[in-house]
């Protein structure tokens, strides 16, 4: 049998589907709904056949869509079609029974048609604003595998519970360079190992942000580019390790696009769920642990809570690094034994996690570099640290905490290695996670860089920094970083 060669038309169709943020089935329902409204304006000779054909297409595709699962964005489309359907079908029924058909004057029918089209058009607009995220394909040489681990630290009590025997547990997801999976291999669900876990986490994140859950109901439908438990790449030697702590209430998967891009370039990314801090964590035994951290309304008390959460997170990062070392040595069974270069590691994080990464690097000399993605430093007693640091910050405006940049600058100046602060024009606080892929494109929320450009900027700048600090690749790091925004360089011993 001859193999089908993709045509240019196929690429254009896929591009249209991507831009509309709708599935082919949803687009078919949309077109059927529009055709039902338009059929009313056809000539009497063409109208019956057109109505029957478009009505059949719409009804059948709507039935299939209801079985597959209807997103809320499609409800206006169905409502507009349902309103137009009687006006399209009733004249046909009257004609078949021999009764005279009446056609309303155009100026009476026009407002109803416009209303139907308006309802139908609001569907793709909502789908574009709140889409099922489409993850950019990693640009590196490796395919990407992922797996989830759960570890308990026997030496640390869990301070968030009253049980004196409870010990600190963390859930860790790894993204790593993998062998290419067979065609048709199931890609990993976003936000969880299963669809149920993904919906649990998505609902918890929406509640934490104060949003109705239906606004992000497309997020747990997404598939990433990694494959669960894919065989580790059979080349590349031992891979540098990047640990990641999410933002307050954030979850281990919140930077999946970034993690997959790094893994595709030969890094192992270990992202943490911090129990009782992350919005929701599903444990191996099926229990779900929700966050216990909430704003009190008192700035001083909230600052104290943030300082304590940062302290716990920094300890979590060090504990996970210890466990990864044991995994590499074979003390913990796993396919990555002998492939983790824990002598080349970076502590990274977003928001509160960025502050935790800075604190972990200061406390734990095993970390060789640190990346802070728009995080306020919370270490109550900043002291010198030896690792190079990269801090990416949002565009600074009147609403930015005036303490943020001076505090961050003070911490970066304490590094005994060259450190960098890059302020990215058009970035907002959520630019540095997966948010732009699925949040409404409101500049104050997700920034103005665009869905895919946000991911590209964060990945390109952090990869350049990691390649320089962990792999010691030659190159003009200052020049690369400067291409993306306003760069400040902090060199040891220089007056500032």
- Going by C-alpha positions, the residue among 78, 77, 436, 71 that lies closest to residue 217 is 71
Q: Region 406-426: what's the mean pLDDT?
A: 96
Among 207, 206, 234, which residue's Cα sits nearest to residue 220? Answer: 206
**CA gap 315, 304 in Å, rounded:** 17
Residue of 3 and 199 predicted with greater confidence: 199
Question: What does the domain layout of the chain look like in residue ranges?
Answer: 8-129, 143-490
- Domain 143-490: CATH architecture, name and number where available: 3-Layer(aba) Sandwich (3.40)
Q: Calculate mean pLDDT across residues 322-336.
A: 97
State yes or no: pLDDT of 40 exceeds 80: no
Q: How confident is the model at residue 2 (pLDDT cuts 50, 70, 90)?
A: very low
**Using CA of residue 107, residue 111, residue 117, residue 118, what is the dihedral sign?**
positive
Q: Which of 351, 430, 425 is nearest to 391 (CA)?
A: 351
CA atoms of 323 and 273, how far apart (whole Å): 15
426, 410 contact by CB (below 8 A):
no
Q: Is 209 helix (H, G, I), strand (E, B) or coil?
A: helix
Return the pLDDT at 56: 84
Query: Look-up: residue for tokens 């600074």?
Result: 396
Give the chain's radius of gyration (CA, Å). 27
Q: Where is average pLDDT lowest: 57-61, 197-201, 227-231?
A: 57-61
pLDDT of residue 95: 58
Residue 162: C-alpha distances to residues 159, 169, 282, 306 (Å): 7, 15, 20, 20
Q: What pLDDT score does 282 carry?
A: 97
The arithmetic mean of pLDDT across residues 395-419, rounded, is: 92
Closest CA to 340 of 251, 479, 238: 238
In this model, does residue 343 exceed pLDDT 70? yes
Query: pLDDT confidence of 62, banded at 50, 70, 90?
Result: confident
Residue 488 pairs with which residues in a beta bridge? 421
Q: What confidence tier does 45 reach under pLDDT thresholds 50, 70, 90?
A: confident
pLDDT at position 308: 94
Single out the residue of 472, 450, 452 nearest to residue 460, CA to CA. 452
Position 9 pLDDT exceeds 60 = no
Residue 12 has pLDDT above 80, yes or no: no
CA–CA distances in Å: residue 419 to residues 134, 195, 241, 331, 366:
33, 41, 20, 35, 18
Across the range 386-393, mean pLDDT stands at 97
Tell me what percent of the residues of the chain surpass a pLDDT of 70. 91
Nearest Cα to 322, choosing from 284, 367, 362? 367
Are the C-beta atoms of residues 80 and 125 closer than 8 Å to each other?
Answer: no
Give the whole-angstrom CA distance, residue 117 versus residue 110: 11
Phi/psi of residue 449, each to 5°? -75, -20
- For the chain, what is the mean pLDDT? 89
């Amino acid at each position: 049998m001859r193999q089908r060669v993709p045509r240019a038309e196929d690429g254009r169709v896929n591009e249209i589907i991507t831009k509309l943020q709708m599935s082919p089935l949803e687009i078919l329902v949309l077109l059927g709904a529009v055709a039902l409204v338009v059929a009313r304006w056809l000539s009497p000779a063409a109208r019956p056949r057109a109505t029957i054909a478009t009505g059949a297409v719409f009804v059948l595709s709507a039935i299939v869509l209801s079985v597959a699962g209807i997103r809320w964005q499609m409800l206006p489309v169905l409502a507009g079609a349902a309103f137009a359907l009687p006006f399209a079908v009733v004249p046909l029924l009257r004609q078949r029974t021999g009764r005279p058909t009446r056609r309303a004057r155009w100026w009476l029918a026009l407002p109803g048609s416009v209303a139907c089209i308006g309802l139908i058009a609001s569907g793709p607009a909502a789908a574009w604003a709140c889409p099922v995220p489409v993850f950019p394909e990693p640009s590196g040489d490796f395919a990407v595998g992922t797996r989830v681990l759960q570890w308990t630290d026997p030496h640390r009590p869990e301070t968030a519970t009253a049980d004196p025997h409870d010990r600190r547990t963390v859930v860790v997801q790894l993204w790593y360079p993998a062998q290419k999976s067979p065609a048709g291999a199931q890609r990993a669900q976003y936000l969880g190992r299963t669809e149920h876990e993904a919906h649990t986490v998505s609902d918890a994140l929406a509640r934490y942000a104060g949003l109705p859950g239906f606004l992000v109901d497309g997020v747990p439908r997404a598939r990433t580019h990694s494959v669960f438990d894919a065989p580790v790449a059979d080349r590349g030697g031992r891979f540098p390790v990047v640990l990641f702590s999410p933002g307050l209430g954030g979850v281990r998967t919140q930077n999946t696009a970034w993690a997959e891009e790094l893994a595709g370039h030969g890094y192992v990314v270990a992202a943490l769920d911090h129990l009782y801090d992350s919005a929701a964590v599903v444990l191996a035994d099926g229990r779900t642990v929700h966050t216990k951290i909430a704003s009190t309304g008192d700035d001083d008390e909230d600052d104290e809570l943030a300082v304590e959460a940062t302290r716990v997170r920094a300890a979590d990062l060090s504990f996970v690094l210890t466990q990864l070392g044991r995994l590499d040595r074979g003390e913990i069974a796993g396919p990555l034994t002998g492939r983790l270069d824990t002598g080349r590691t970076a502590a990274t994080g977003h928001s509160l996690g960025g502050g935790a990464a800075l604190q972990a690097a200061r406390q734990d000399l095993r970390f060789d570099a640190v990346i802070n993605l728009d995080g306020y430093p919370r270490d109550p007693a900043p002291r010198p640290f030896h690792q190079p640091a990269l801090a990416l910050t949002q565009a600074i405006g009147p609403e930015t905490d005036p303490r943020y940049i001076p505090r961050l600058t003070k911490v970066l100046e304490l590094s005994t290695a060259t450190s960098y602060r890059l302020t990215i024009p058009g970035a907002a606080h959520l630019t540095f996670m997966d948010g732009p892929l699925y949040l409404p494109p409101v500049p104050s929320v997700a920034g103005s860089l665009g869905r895919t450009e946000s991911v590209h900027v964060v990945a390109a700048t952090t990869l350049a920094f990691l390649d320089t600090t962990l792999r010691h690749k030659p190159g003009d790091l200052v020049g690369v970083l400067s291409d993306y925004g306003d760069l400040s360089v902090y060199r040891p011993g220089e007056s500032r």
